[in-house]
Every structure is written in C-alpha cells, then in structure tokens.
Amino acid sequence: MTQLRQVFMVLSPRALSYATDALESLFRNSLETLQVRLITDSAEDKRELSEVVGTLVTKGHTCLVYSEKDLADREETLFKRYANLRAFRHGHPCWRKITDPLLLSDPGAELLLLDPDLYFPNRFCFEETPKSGLLLMWQRPNCLFPPEVVRTAIGRGIRLAHHVDIGVAHWRASADLDWLDWLVGSLGGTSLPRIMHIEAIVWSALAMRSGGGHLDPKYWRCWYRSPAKRLMTRIGVSGLKSLRSEPWAELKCFHAGGEAKFWLNAAREKGLLDGRSELSRPGSTIPFVELKPAHFARERALKQVLRALGYYQIFRPA
C-alpha cells in the first residue's frame, strides 16, 4: 500500500522506557507508509529523541521531531486571535496533542494521533479517517477528570461523550478554531488545572459536536483496571500474567494505560505480545453516546462510597 498516513505523537524522553516499544512495533507492523511527527518540549528533549529515533529500524517510514519552540511562529499565525488556545498549548504538555498537529498540518489534512503507551502486536492498517468527525478508542467507564471541570462543562450545556479513550484518535485539521477557543475558555481557560486528563474532556466535547464514533474495541483495545485485576495486583499476581489474558492475535493496537505501560517491555521480551496476524480490514464504528448529567452524578456518588469504604486505598496500583 502506498498511501502516506500522517501520524503524530506527543512524547517526552522520560517516556522512552515504554514509548520505544510503541514506536518499534508501529514501524514494524504498519502495512501503510507512515510519516510520524514526534512533538516534545525543549531543544534538549528534541536532541535526545532524535538520537533514539536514529537507532530505530523504521522500515521505510519517516520520523521527524519538533520542540515546542519550533512551532512558535506557526502558533503566532494560526492561533493569533485565540488567547485560550495559546494558553492551552502552554499548559500541560499532553494538551499539545490537540493543538500542535493543527500547527503542523494543512487545512483538512488527516491527523492520526497516538499516545506513547501503545503497542501494535500484528501487521495492521489504520482505519480510514472520516472526512468530518472523530474516531476515538472506547473504554469503560471513562477518563473524564477532574470532576469539577466535568461539572463545569455540564453546567454550561457542553455535551460530553461517554467511554472516550484518547490512546488513538483520527481527526482532520479542519477544526472550528472559534468554537475550540470558546470551549477551552468555557471549561476554565487559564485557570484549568494542569493535569493530563483535561485533554480527554476536550476530546469528549469535540466528539459530541463533530460526530464520528469509537474505533472497534475488537481491534483497538484499552487495558481496563477492573475489580478482578485490582484484586490480582493486590494478591501479588504479576503484570505479565495480567497481560497474558489479552487477545493479542486479534488486536491491531493495545493501549496500556495506567501501570500496564510498565509491563509491556518485559512482556514483549517474554514473547507474549507479538502475533502473526495480518489485520488489514476495517473494523466497525460504534456511535458516541452522551454522558448524561444524571449518569455522571451516579458514577461520582458510587466512587465516593467506594472511597469511603477504603476500596481505592486497598486496591491501589502497586
């Protein structure tokens, strides 16, 4: 296949312990030719990432690295009228997964956005990026946090998609910047807490406004810290054994959220991850479902009860 797919990843050198496996498996197993752009913070981070990328076998794919400052002129041009977006770009580094691909792309261009804690175990093709709307991974229950920002969104009539996971996203560089700037300002603007989860709230709002759907979880799977897995961890079951239960031969991509990201390298060395399947056919798309205020209130009430009972303290990650 000759179609050049445009891939973006926000990456710090401090994540290389697991992100190197993500990149190596991506380069090794993609059936499509990729142009990968890594977005990092400082000039020193850029130098370090460039050195690491130079050691990888890229299999004909290209990989470029950009620092935050490299895109300053483009920010000045594209975001000149958007004070909230400019402040957002200089908030938590993860938030630049939303802003910086726009700065690096022509209007309407495809954006395949990846987190660094992924693994691609089989030969695969990405899904087709829709002409409008988003494709996002599905997870349960959701990663919308902190609750006060979710409540702000709900209170201001901003609809949010439920079950959103942001490990992989398909988008196009045709965002309504006026609305996106308004959204960031409505959620809190410069007073937003600088935590990575804010990104998920923005994606969730974008999903309900733009449409699209979830990537097929049969192919695009998120690790879920279920009560059973919490118990396994508590009684000393290793992460490797937890990962053995995943259907690796059936997956295009695995999002190793939470502590699971730190198990990937050992699991790969044990031969648990890599399959021999070729998964070129597209999966189905699951429509987005709105997170209703009453449902969110019930979720928060249940979590408060569990916290009061000591559930999260007992079953916290090791």
Residue 315 lies in a domain: no
Mean pLDDT of all residues in 19-38? 98
Token output for 276? 């021999």
Q: Give Cβ neighbours of residue 151 (< 8 Å, ≥ 6 apart).
A: none
CATH number, residue 112: 3.90.550
In angstroms, the CA 49 to CA 137 distance is: 27
The pLDDT assigned to 203 comes to: 98
Return the closest-CA partner of residue 133 out of 288, 293, 289, 314: 288
Local confidence band at 1 (pLDDT 50, 70, 90 cut-offs): very low
Residue 84 lies in a domain: yes
Check: CB of residue 282 under 8 Å from CB of residue 220.
no
The pLDDT assigned to 224 comes to: 82
Write the pLDDT tens digit of every residue in 187-241: 999 999 999 999 999 999 999 999 999 999 999 999 987 666 766 677 777 888 8
Local confidence band at 317 (pLDDT 50, 70, 90 cut-offs): low
Q: Give Cβ neighbours of residue 277 (< 8 Å, ≥ 6 apart).
A: 122, 123, 249, 250
Please say if the pLDDT value at position 45 is more than 50.
yes
Residue 309 lies in a domain: no
Check: CB of residue 98 under 8 Å from CB of residue 199.
yes
Residue 282 lies in a domain: yes
Token output for 157? 């009539």
Token output for 233? 């961890």
Mean pLDDT of all residues in 159-185? 96
Residue 316 lies in a domain: no
Write the pLDDT tens digit of every residue in 88-101: 999 999 999 999 99
Please say if the pLDDT value at position 68 is more than 50.
yes
Give the chain's domain count: 1
In angstroms, the CA 29 to CA 215 distance is: 19
Range of the domain at 233: 4-291
Residue 312 lies in a domain: no
The pLDDT assigned to 225 comes to: 72
Please say if the pLDDT value at position 311 is more than 60.
no
Residue 34: exposure state from Cβ atoms within 10 A (0-12, 13-18, ≥19): buried
> Does 78 or 245 have the greater pLDDT score?
78
Q: Give the DSSP H or E segment for 113.
A: strand 110-114
Residue 112 lies in a domain: yes
At CB < 8 A and 24+ separation, what contacts does 225-229 make? 225/257, 225/258, 225/259, 225/317, 227/315
DSSP secondary structure code for residue 161 in this structure: B
DSSP secondary structure code for residue 55 in this structure: T
Token pair 């053995």 is found at 244
Residue 142 lies in a domain: yes
Average pLDDT, the chain: 93
Task: Specify the pTM.
Answer: 0.93
In angstroms, the CA 221 to CA 248 distance is: 10
